[in-house]
Structure 1
Amino acid sequence: MNLSKGKMASLGFQHVLAMYAGAVIVPLIVGAGIGLTNEQLTYLISIDILMCGVASILQVWKNRFSGIGLPVVLGCTFTAVGPIIAIGNEYGVTSVYGSILVSGLVVVVIAKFFSKLIKFFPPVVTGSVVTIIGITLIPVAMNDLAGGEGSENFGSLTNLALGFGTLLIILLIFRFGKGFVQAIAILIGILLGTIVASFFGQVDLSPVAESSWFHMPTPFHFGVPEFHLTPILTMILVAIVSLVESTGVYFALSDICDKKIEDKDLERGYRAEGLAIIFGGIFNSFPYTTFSQNVGLIQLSGVRTNNVIYTAGFMLVLLGLVPKIGALTLVIPKSVLGGAMIAMFGMVISYGIKMLSKVDFSSQENLLIVACSVGMGLGVTVVPEIFADFPESVQILTDSGIVLGSLTAICLNIVFNVRKSKKAILAEKKTA
């Protein structure tokens, strides 16, 4: 697809807006959780945005060693938030980055082995995982639409009007817009929603005024990394869980882009993710994984070229180097972002359902796999405190609806389909 520089920039910026809030919220939560100063938090946010760009470029750039070669956007994984805060408070921030470094190295090493597990990801599993990803993210969108969880004006008429108004603008653009205008419907919706929000006093420009013009990343900014066994094992588990989630995204994008992926492609994709995690450890940012909202955006825009993601990646690097520019995206009200997220996350669900359309649902086993995995994913999301009494090491698996639902789909597929097919092969051999 041939796109002008202006169109490429608009589409790339649309991807930046789609993932920016999710990328920024992680350093804000972690910084508050481990008691960082404002200066340290400023660095953490800037380096995180920069590394999101580097990680995305690494993943899109397909070469002999790494890169899935699909339009993937990477950001810091939410699965790591709880473990990072726990490690930081008990062992210190330098131990956090020691464990991240080791987990990245482990991912690079096991990439080849993990890619051989592709047989455990048939459409009934990948479709379920993608559907679960979308379903479990909808509450995030709804909370943002209402003004953000815990906000003083949560659920106010103003927030609801801005959120649903933004969604309505996006829908109207899709109904009546054509070509490029339709492709940047999310961007237009967010910009118009923000302009309207400014008349209601919901746009705060102080983050722009307070931000510096230039910020240079430095390796091991928070000190020389330390290595302790428990934090290392914890972050390795977080990294493996992220690989499971990324696998679903890879298959969804391969379907959207009509590009079949083999185990070699998965190996390069996992290895790129491992490299991104290593860079996160070196520059004191975070472990990185695929961002699902950008999958929905690709489906909505219809633009599947990798050049758009390269553009978004370089924009993220620029935003990380120039915090004042990056702060501009922080002025977008949560209610406006929430309205746009409903469309994006909803498209993830739709694509999961489309992937499931390839599944043989005359099989009761397949029906049970989808039913239980989606049920577990949604259940944990709606009732997050259900596993509160479990050990923290186990809660890494049980706290996330995406993780628990995905593992349920994989395990049930092994029980119902993989083992059954092995028995059938053995029975054929005996009769022969």
Structure 2
Amino acid sequence: MKNGFGKTLSLGIQHVLAMYAGAIVVPLIVGAALGLSPKELTYLVSIDIFMCGAATLLQVWSNKFFGIGLPVVLGCTFTAVSPIIAVGTEYGVSAVYGSIIASGLLVILISFFFGKLVAFFPPVVTGSVVTIIGITLMPVAMNNIAGGEGSADFGDASNLILGFIVLAVIVLLYRFTKGFLKSISILIGIVFGTGIAFFMGKVHFDNVAQADLFQMVQPFYFGAPSFHVAPIITMF
């Protein structure tokens, strides 16, 4: 497949859209669990997306210390959702940031030694871990298909039909097409599903129209990071 600008752009948009939902779901889940207001949630989501971009650039930049040199967009892990909620509930959002910073530094310090243990983690082990993570995330996907947990129409038949139509389009395109069309099956499914949802009255742009066109993330919006032993150990 020849990679022209249009094809590269399409694949890039697909990659962003595929990771975007997963990236913002984490702060939405955490924010809702911590009782944040809609305005506070926007700041939490924006800093999440900002850091995803920063982490992606570090991943693309390959050197002797970090980065794999591949155009892989890094999102926000679901692994830390439960610890973040536990720490935030007990100590506040500032302690969440502090524990992430401290545990991140600790991981950097021990990464050299853990790198030596890679021989003890063959594909069957890492594959099993990834599979387990995928299985544990299936309820999140099903909740989203049902309309989003807590929504007024959660579990409504129209939500389920829409979700499975999108899934069917993606699977069929991926299975029965080749080349570029197969590569952008997810993008086509998202666009197709959004179009159907619009005619079903499920897509609204009122909040988008009222939002600012451009807004910078605000450092220390939730306060300066605070450091406590228990949260740091939990996150680590």
Question: Mapping of 1:310-349 within 5 angstroms?
Answer: none
Query: Alpha carbons of 1:140 and 1:82: their partners in 2 closer, same or farther (altered >3 Å)?
Result: closer
Q: Does 1:61 align with 2:57?
A: no
**Structure 2 Cα separation of the partners of residues 26 and 130 of structure 1:** 18
Q: How far does the alpha carbon of each residue in 1:360-394 deviate from its partner, in whole angstroms, 9 at most, with x for none?
A: xxxxxxxxxxxxxxxxxxxxxxxxxxxxxxxxxxx
Q: Which amino acid aligns with 1:190?
A: I
* 3-state SS of paired residue (1:74): coil
Q: How far off its partner does 1:71 sit?
A: 4.7
Q: How far does the alpha carbon of each residue in 1:202-254 deviate from its partner, in whole angstroms, 9 at most, with x for none?
A: 11222312322112234333222221111111111xxxxxxxxxxxxxxxxxx
Aligned pairs, number? 236
Q: Which residue of 2 aligns with 1:30?
A: 30
Q: Does 1:205 align with 2:205?
A: yes
Query: Alpha carbons of 1:173 and 1:204: their partners in 2 closer, same or farther (altered >3 Å)?
Result: same
Question: Mapping of 1:270-419 within 5 angstroms?
Answer: none
Question: Mapping of 1:134-213 within 5 angstroms?
Answer: 134-213=134-213
* 3-state SS of paired residue (2:75): strand
Q: How far off its partner does 1:113 sit?
A: 0.9
**Structure 2 Cα separation of the partners of residues 32 and 142 of structure 1:** 18
**Structure 1 Cα separation of the partners of residues 233 and 74 of structure 2:** 23
Q: Does 1:106 align with 2:106?
A: yes
**Structure 1 Cα separation of the partners of residues 175 and 99 of structure 2:** 49
Structure 1 segments (4+ residues) deviating >4 Å: none
Q: Does 1:131 align with 2:131?
A: yes
* 3-state SS of paired residue (2:63): coil
Contact kept? 2:43, 2:218, Cα under 8 Å? no
* 3-state SS of paired residue (1:142): helix
Q: How far off its partner does 1:170 sit?
A: 1.9
Identity percentage of aligned residues: 64
Query: Alpha carbons of 1:235 and 1:201: their partners in 2 closer, same or farther (altered >3 Å)?
Result: same
* 3-state SS of paired residue (1:76): coil
**Structure 2 Cα separation of the partners of residues 220 and 37 of structure 1:** 17
Contact kept? 1:46, 1:215, Cα under 8 Å? no
Q: Which residue of 2 aligns with 1:12?
A: 12
**Structure 2 Cα separation of the partners of residues 50 and 157 of structure 1:** 36
Q: How far off its partner does 1:25 sit?
A: 1.9
Query: Alpha carbons of 1:9 and 1:96: their partners in 2 closer, same or farther (altered >3 Å)?
Result: same
Q: How far off its partner does 1:91 sit?
A: 2.2
**Structure 2 Cα separation of the partners of residues 32 and 154 of structure 1:** 17
Q: Which residue of 2 aligns with 1:261?
A: none
* 3-state SS of paired residue (2:149): coil
What TM-score, normalized by structure 2, do the two folds share? 0.88
Q: Larger relative contact order (C-alpha < 8 A, sep ≥ 6)? A: 1
Q: Which amino acid aligns with 1:49?
A: I
**Structure 2 Cα separation of the partners of residues 176 and 85 of structure 1:** 43
Query: Alpha carbons of 1:234 and 1:175: their partners in 2 closer, same or farther (altered >3 Å)?
Result: closer
Q: Does 1:118 align with 2:118?
A: yes
Q: How far off its partner does 1:106 sit?
A: 0.9
Contact kept? 2:60, 2:72, Cα under 8 Å? yes
Contact kept? 2:16, 2:73, Cα under 8 Å? no
Query: Alpha carbons of 1:96 and 1:176: their partners in 2 closer, same or farther (altered >3 Å)?
Result: closer
Q: How far off its partner does 1:145 sit?
A: 2.2
Contact kept? 2:147, 2:154, Cα under 8 Å? yes
Q: Which residue of 1 aligns with 2:222?
A: 222
When you count helix as a share of all residues, which structure comes out higher?
A: 1
Query: Alpha carbons of 1:129 and 1:79: their partners in 2 closer, same or farther (altered >3 Å)?
Result: closer
Q: Which amino acid aligns with 2:171?
A: L
Q: How far off its partner does 1:27 sit?
A: 1.6
Contact kept? 1:166, 1:192, Cα under 8 Å? yes
Contact kept? 2:23, 2:48, Cα under 8 Å? yes
Instruction: Name structure 2 gaps, 5 residues minimum.
Output: none
* 3-state SS of paired residue (1:69): coil
Query: Alpha carbons of 1:166 and 1:92: their partners in 2 closer, same or farther (altered >3 Å)?
Result: closer
Q: How far off its partner does 1:176 sit?
A: 4.5
**Structure 2 Cα separation of the partners of residues 73 and 220 of structure 1:** 25
Question: Mapping of 1:227-238 within 5 angstroms?
Answer: 227-236=227-236
Q: Which amino acid aligns with 2:197?
A: A
Q: How far does the alpha carbon of each residue in 1:21-48 deviate from its partner, in whole angstroms, 9 at most, with x for none?
A: 2221222222233343433322111111
Q: How far does the alpha carbon of each residue in 1:95-131 deviate from its partner, in whole angstroms, 9 at most, with x for none?
A: 2212111111111111111111112211321232232
Query: Alpha carbons of 1:25 and 1:157: their partners in 2 closer, same or farther (altered >3 Å)?
Result: same
* Structure with max Cα Rg: 1
